């Protein structure tokens, strides 16, 4: 039963990682957009950094759950 739970957690973390990656990339594009206001660009840059931290956190958690599920 624990293996199933670890597998579900792995999949969930992988999906969250992918979502964070997509959001990070979108925010990076907004931050680079010279047609956007300075405030919008600054907020997007801040959000991209936050998304990167979330991406890393979810990746680490997914890896832990993957290892637990394999053992």
Query: Which single residue is written with the structure tokens 């950094």?
Result: 49
When pLDDT is averaged across residues 39-66 and rounded to a whole number, the result is 98
**How many alpha carbons lie under 13 Å from residue 14 in its C-beta half-sphere?**
10
Identify the domain containing residue 9 by its residue range.
2-70
The residues near 42 (Cβ < 8 Å, ≥ 6 apart) are: 31
Residue 41: pLDDT band with limits 50, 70, 90: very high
**How many domains would you assign to the chain?**
1
What integer best gives the mean pLDDT of the chain?
96
- Return the percentage of the chain with pLDDT > 90, whole number: 94
The string of pLDDT tens digits covering residues 4-35 is 999 999 999 999 999 999 999 999 999 999 99
């Amino acid at each position: 039963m624990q293996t199933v739970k670890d597998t579900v957690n792995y999949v969930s973390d992988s999906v969250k990682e992918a979502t964070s990656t997509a959001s990070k990339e979108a925010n990076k594009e907004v931050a680079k957009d010279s047609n956007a206001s300075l405030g919008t660009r600054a907020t997007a840059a801040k959000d991209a950094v936050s998304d990167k931290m979330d991406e890393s956190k979810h990746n680490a958690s997914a890896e832990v759950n993957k290892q637990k599920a394999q053992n």
